[in-house]
Amino acid sequence: MVRHSKKAPKGDDAFKTKKQKVGRKKLAPATSTRAEVHARTLRINNAIVVDNEEEEKNDGVIPHRNFAENVSASNHYRANVRSGAIGSMVAQVAEEGKRLSPVHRLQALIIALSNVADTDKTVRQRAVSLVENILKFADADSQTLVNILQYTHIALTHAVFDVRRSGLEVIRAVLTHWPQSLRRGNVAIDSIQIIDRVFEISSASAQPDFATLALLLDELLADDSSQGSTLCTAMSSFLERNSASILVRWKEHMEQRYALFREPRSVERACALARVVSTIGIFLLKQNCLGKVNSRFLREMFIARVPFTMEDLCSGNNPRSVDFASAVATGCVPLLQNINDDALRCVNIFLTTSISVAPLASSVGHLALVTSIVPQLNNRFCGLMPPLLQTLSRQVSNKGFSCTLVLQCASLLEVFMGVVDPPVDMLQHLASCLHLVCRVLFACRRFDRDAARDVGKCFLGILWNTVASRHPVMSVVDVRSFTDALQSIFGVGNDNQFVKGILETIDDEEITALGAHIFHYLQQPPQSLSVVLPVGVPLSNCSAV
């Protein structure tokens, strides 16, 4: 008898058939998929146990984690765990501050920088916050800054636009907490490489904002002595490559006309773009490499494309229009080298009107910029010093007024006093300034002793140089009234005796000696001031202190 082996079923017969038995649970359809899952329990040492309720309550931040656990969790596959770990590190860094060990601080910085390019928004935000907290408590270091710029360059070149924006926020954090560190040799070269990236990201936004780029250029170009030729070439090529894009963005702002000044953010964005171009233009002018092409670009942007007159911008009471006028006037400064009439008129009108409508610091800063870049125009702008000193004498007695601003005004006056062969109209302005200096000194009596002493030495040194060198202004000044004004400042009465005056605040031997020498050269030395002169030395033989 031949035995035959049973053949394997084929087709639908290959599936195991089940029979429905009476009284039993109804069978599942034959075509259904089995959902049973078989798993084994694994025991992992030092595992991170996440409490879901606590995690949701604290937005993913687990306060009881130590630093090592946060470091481990920062590489977790779940975005919520990564963001929670980085958030816990932010809290630890903010709490411990400088007490945090340098090793932990460096480790936290590397973790933060590596997560700046994360695809999860919350992780990126907390990573940027961790970078800011670390830079706040750490000292600037060149090697660390180079590493930051390398990680930031990776984020700035990422395919996802939001990641590139996070890289921009890291640059802003560096500019805020380590501002002057970007001026160092190799760091400056690395910074040049990311300028184009920062401009592209700022320009690609729905509402372009160039504030970060303006801050970057301010710090990078502040010290023009180091890497001058490299920076000059890089900035010149930057303007040539991006001039068309800049003009397009500028045109979008200018087409709004007076609607531009309704929203603060619109004015800030327009001023930031103007500041980017003016900073580069002033730097190139100082390096003598502005060139005709860049000059035409500046003239096109700040003169031809601006639909407002400087009188309209400065005549109103809108501080936003005054801020915009300041940005346009700064952009016209590089054009003054070739004595461009439109640029000269624009800057002159702004400086004349801004003294009364703009913050005094803005007027002083613009005038100092003009005198440093185009000293050949000092005789044209000297007429601004008398109203500037008048405004200064009125505001200097206000509470919280900066002594630094008074010293800047003294430096400006010294610049104008140093003009060789000044014309007659300039001498008239300088003569008015001598009288106004006495008013400024009297108004400074409310300063503290150290600040008043610094201001007194600075202004009295200018007056001493003026009268001792027989400056041409002494031929037009009223010596008698000038002497009376000085006597009121020093508290000297008609009987050559001290009265209560400014010397109660700035009682200093050097200041008193300067006053004695000034009175000597004016040929009316009070006896009360001569007591500070060297013993046994005639007043006529004394030199400057």
Summarize pLDDT for 257-274 with one digit per residue, the tens.
888 888 888 889 999 999
Helical ranges in 257-337 per DSSP H: 264-286, 291-299, 310-315, 319-332
What one-letter code names the amino acid at 466? T
- For the CA atoms of 139, 140, 142, 146, the dihedral, rounded to the nearest 10 degrees, stands at 110
Contacts of 78 (CB under 8 A, 6+ apart): none
- When the pLDDT of each residue in the chain is averaged and rounded to a whole number, the result is 79
- As a whole-number percent, the residues of the chain with pLDDT over 70 amount to 80
The arithmetic mean of pLDDT across residues 100-117, rounded, is 89
| Confidence tier at 290 by pLDDT (50, 70, 90) | confident
Q: For 116, phi and psi rounded to 5 degrees?
A: -65, -30
Q: Is the pLDDT of residue 499 over 60?
A: no
311's CB contacts (< 8 A; 6+ apart) are: 349, 353
**72 Cβ contact partners less than 8 Å away, ≥ 6 residues apart:** 46, 48, 85
Give 4 or 529, the one with higher predicted confidence: 4
Q: What are the pLDDT digits (tens) for 380-395?
A: 888 888 888 888 888 8
Alpha carbon 354 to its chain's center: 22
What pLDDT sits at residue 502? 52
Question: Among 108, 110, 70, which residue's Cα sits nearest to residue 88?
Answer: 70
**DSSP line for 72-132:** HHTT-SSHHHHHHHHHHHHHHHHHHGGGS-HHHHHHHHHHHHHHTT-SSHHHHHHHHHHHH
Quote the CA–CA distance of 15 and 31 in Å, as a whole number: 10
pLDDT of residue 63: 56
Determine the Cα–Cα distance for residues 66 and 64; give it in Å rounded to an integer: 6
